[in-house]
Each structure stands twice: as C-alpha cells, then as structure tokens.
Structure 1
Amino acid sequence: MLGGTWRRGRMCPWRRSGRTLGRVFAPHLPRRSVLLGLLAAPLTVAACSKDQPKPGGPTTTSATTATTAAPPVQVTGAGLPADLLGTMTALYLGGKVPAGGAVAAALAKRKSLTAPPKVAGSVGKWKGVPIAVVASGSDLTLLVKGKSWSVVGGWWPSLGVATSPVATMRVLAIGSDARPNQKVASQRSDSLHIIGVDSKGVGGIVGIPRDSWVPLASGGTNKINAALPFGGPKNVVKTVSRTSGVQLDGYLMTGFKGFRAMINAVGGLRYVAPAVFKGEHGILAKKGLNILRGEPALSFARERHTLKNGDFGRSQNQGRLMLAGMSMARAGGPKALVKYLGAMSPHVETDLSTEQVLNLGASVFRASPNTVKNVVVPGGVGTRSGQSVVLLGSGALSIFRDMRNGRLGA
C-alpha cells in the first residue's frame, strides 16, 4: 500500500448513496511511481466520508498494478510444427535436448545462444517414421520422432560443435537383378558397392565385380552375386564383410522396378557425362548434362557389352550414377533431403535404422561429391566350375583395407 495507512486499520465499505468517490494522489510520492502506476493500471483510492483523514494528517492511498508477461523467446521456422520448434529452442537457447549416445555427449558441450536464430527445414517420413532436417546458417540438425522429436545427428558450429558426432558407417548398396514380377531378394545381386561415411562426409565408393569368386557365408564357393538367392541380403552382407575385411553396418537394396520408380520419383537423375556414352541400342548419355529418367538410367547402369573392361566398367558407371544422385541432393539443400528420402523409401529395402539413413543422406553436405573417390576393385579373369569368374588379388585387398575406416586415401 502506497502513501500511508487506512484509518481504523481496515478498508471502509463503499457507500451506496451514489455519492461520487474522490481520487486522492499522495503528493509526496515520487513522480516515477505515479507514472508507472498510470501506465500499468489505475491507481484508485476509495475514501469513506466518516473516515476522511484529519487536516494535516497522513494521506491514505491504495494502488493495484497488473503486468503482462512477455511472450517466451523461442525459435521459429515457417512450416515447422510447434513441438519440433520446441526441441530446436532447447537446442539453441539452453535446456534438455532429447538425444542419445555420441550426439548427446556432443550437445552437452554446446554453448547456448542468447537470441533465437532463424531456422528453415522440412518434415517428412522414412518407412512411416517422421523425420526432419533443420538448417540455420552452417548448422544442420537431423531429427527423428518417436513419442517426441529427438536429435539424431548434425553439426552446430554456431554452438561450438562443428564436427558430426555420428560414428563411421560402411553401407552395402545392393542392386538385385530382379525383374518386375520377381522377388528382389530371390535373384542375383549384380550391383555391389560399399559406401563409406565418416565425420567429414562421404568417404568413397568401392565397387565389387559381380563375378568375383569368393567363399559364401552360407557355405561353398561361388560368384559373389549368388549370395543373395542363397541367403538373402544378410548373407550378402556377411559374404562381402568376410571377403573384404570391411565391417559393414547394413545394406540398402532395390531391384529393376524399384530403381526405375525411385529415379522417376525424384524427377530424373542429373548426370554430367564426360563424353558420349553409347550402348548396344544407341546413345545412353550425351556429353554434358543429361536428365536420365527411370528406364534410360537403368540401361546406363546395366550396359557392359560395349565397354572394353566389361563388368569392371559397368560397376564404375554405377558408382557414377550414385555420385550424380549425391550431387542432386547436395544441390537441393537440407530442405530437399527429406523429399528425396521420402521418394526413395517405398522402393528400397534396408536393415538400417531411420537414424542411420538420415545421417547417411546428410553426409552429402559435408563434402562435395566431386571429391569422392569411386573405384572398382581389380581382379584377374579365370574359370571356375566351368564359369568365367573374377579372381580377386592383392590389388583388391589393398583397396578393401583402405576402406575399413570409411574413407579411401585417409
């Protein structure tokens, strides 16, 4: 209560006579107090006639102020859901961020900002699981939603975390020879590539000739592409791991139908050919920029008869198409990554987690695909069990050893 006390120690009841009640301001109050009171809320003084202060006595006043709380400071981003922005606010302005493993350890050392940054991103799904990619300047945040949004990867130089905390991955890309009416896992795997990823981005692509003569994890010795019909994709992973010594973290697999559908879903593959590429039935790619739709892209990937080095050259070209896809994703930026993954999702079989797939896709932003090495392991041509096969030697083993840490030439 400002400026004195009520007479008799209590408030006087309002009179019902209709008599106008006067407003009395204490002349001894500081001007700032009066102004603040006027701005915040009415300063009302009620007086009863029988309780009027005596001349020269203390002036009795009463003041009530109401303040409106300022809206909470939070991260905003057009088109992003409120619960996702809540996680981003905790990430940048301080608070508990849902994360696990190496990501949680890295974020525990972050330095919070004093003002919310501008963010942009997109939300989609991979195999029915909500995913999100959010960018802010040079920062990138990868999120997956279970009961709530959780940070599963990224890098945040603005917070002092410039290196991706995600561990090295080595993923096997399997291209099945399955036609549209055949099961993908029941046919031979005519395209095999190890894709390495580390904290610096994509570390290299290693192609394996389909006719490589190797011991199969399911038993016996055969061409490496026989591992798929003899035991499914996990048998292929085990066979390639044992042959190469590279510890594989999982696989991505598709067949002819899935490959065509995937390419068409992203609007075609932008491939820059260093020279004209002719196939058995005409030109498959002109020199310079080509937009390869589903069927032309499949023909490009399968062509071997016109190549001097046959299957080795075909595997090299398949790696080039992978790099073209990486370049498209990189050019589209973080917001487009969710779109591309969503387009691929129905046409790819995998044992990788959503978290792994998201980090694998985002690795294209760490380094330009133009710097990624694309090699095919060498081998000699021989005959086994009446078949023409590729015999892997020391040259192949050297490349495999180089790929064990996820990066060629490291």
Structure 2
Amino acid sequence: MLAKGQTLVQYMEQLAPKHIAMEGDKIGLQLGSLQKDVQGVLVALDVNEDVVEEAISLRANLIVAHHAIIYRPLANLQSDTPMGKVYEKLIKNDIAVYISHTNLDVADGGMNDWMAEALGIESGAPLEDVHMDSLYKLVVFVPKDHHERVLEAMLGAGAGHIGNYSHCSFNLAGFGTFKPGEGTDPFIGTQGKLEKVEENRIETVVPQSLRSKVIQAMLKQHPYEEVAYDLYPMDLKGRTFGLGRVGKLKDPVTLGDFVGRVKEKLQVPMVRVVGDLSKPIRKAAVLGGSGGRYWKNAQLRGADVIVTGDVDYHTAQDAWMAGIAIIDPGHNAEKIMKSKVTAWLTEKLQENKYETKVYASSVNTEPFNFV
C-alpha cells in the first residue's frame, strides 16, 4: 500500500510543525497536490532542474525540500526562464513540492540539533527564541473500563508535561448521561433510552505542537461513537523553540582542530575562519543557513565560536574585534538534512507498513566552486 501525500506531510509536521516556523517563511505545499498516492519521495536541500530529473528517474512524485522554490511573488510562469523550466517539468511530471524550512531549523531533533550533535555540542540551547508553544487543557470523559488505555494513549502521545515532570493528569470518577438517537450505534446503551454510565473525567496538559497527535491517539482508544471532550487554551507558558544551538564541547579543542571537525562532519571542502587558530574552544554555537547576525547572541551565551554561513566582511570584522571566532562552512552545509529527513520518513512509513520509498538526493546543489 502506498502512502498518500497528505500522510507524508503529517509525518513531516510531527518532526517540524508548521506553526513554529518564523513569520512570513514560505513553507508547506508549494506546487502540486497531496491528494494522491506517493510512489517515491525525494528529500533535497534545494530544487533545481537536476534535482527534478533525479526525481523523475527515481519515479518519485513528491519532493520534500528545505529551501523554497517560490520565495517571492511570481510575475509570470514563462517556461523559457531557468526556474520556469523547473516549474514546467514538475507540473508535467505530476511532482509535488513540499517545503520545511525554519520550522525544521528550530524543531527539537531538527536541523540545528543535527548540526550541533555532529559537531559535539552538548545540551545545545537556542541562540534566539522565535516561538513559544501554547498550552491547552484537554478534558475527556471515558467509561470506567477504558480509563487506563485512553489515559496511556494520551500520555504516550506527548500530553501531560509540566516543566520537568511528565505523565501529569487529574482523574475524577462520576456519572455520564446520554440518550442514543435514531441512526446511532452506541457502544453502551440502546436507541431512545436514557443511559447513566460510570465514567472518569481525565484532565491533562497538551502543547499546541502535539495537539492533533494527542487527540488522534485519544480518539483511537476511546470506545464511544461520539467522544465528549473539551480543549481549553491556557495562560501558562509552554516551551520555546529557537534558532541555532549553543553548548559546551565535551573536551576543549583549538579553533584549528574544531575547523577540521566542521569540515569533516558537515562534509564541506573548505571554510572561512575568523580568529586565531590556536584559540581554545570550550563552548560553541551553530546556526544553519545565514546566521552571521547572531554572533552577538552566541557571545552573550559564552560561546567561543559560532559556526554559520554567508558571513559578510563587516560582520566578520566586528566579531573579530569583539573576540569571538567564526567558522563559515557556507549555506550548503545544511545538506545534513537530506539523510536525516530520509531516515525519519522511512521509519514512519515502515512503522505503518507503507511501501512508499524515500530517497536522499545525490545532486550537489552547492553553487560555489572552491579553487
């Protein structure tokens, strides 16, 4: 059985929920339809004509990419322009394109966590908060005999976290009343007869990013045809999501040694470096993409170096004078996402017994040559 496009997007949004993206970011479905069976998924950093040709050769009819193919408003769709050719080829071959950008950057277990882990940055905290996850109180009424299985499903899906405590809930016994109407198929009771049933009220806390997942898990285990539940917004602050990561290295190294690690782990042939190569590095920051403007955030958090791309001359001068090192591996270092997203989607598809295949793009989309 093949997965639908919408199913694959649900898996992506479990990893990188859309609502945690930075305001104005161009994410989500940008071309094509998700209402179809997906034979193959191609995971790419960028989408150019070579990537589309690769998708065609692999019979992949969905591309999941990090960088948007439509970022600014289109004035036209002329097929004799470079990007026009790309759009035309995608449409003619019925290939959809879905973008996961800053939501993938800031997500737990997303881009910046992958880069921090690769570089040996431990317990990485965000450089700058960009989204706070809203909290909701979920209340559901469950027949007594199904209380434990419904509660376990909700908590297992991520409900019930308050600070450093997990599995938080409140449970109250009582009686529920209902009268099944015409056309119903009640789990308990008969049509037209008022029923009084022993039920338990379950209350727990759910973050916005897991709201759909928790509700689906609850509905799947609940025996009732029509489930009575309430969802209330709360004033309490939830956890925050942020750009970049900063943390200590397990063992201090020199800047020169750390440069070698960056080149190896991020698979880049060359980097630009600001700072004395003999400088000891105890705490490091990383931010995928263009993050030069965040060097002050990194320094305020005690970082000796920040690893990020597209650093301009004057930013480098300012950081140099301020005493913080910079390693610029380029924007293309974000290609680490290809293997990681491929592994995530493959695992989800296998768990649910789908036959859809997922491929990491082998096309090099680095626009620069190093000579």
- TM above 0.5, one fold? no
Q: TM-score, normalised by structure 2?
A: 0.26
Question: By percentage of residues, which structure has more strand?
Answer: 2
| Higher RCO (C-alpha under 8 Å, 6+ residues apart) | 2
Q: TM-score, normalised by structure 1?
A: 0.24
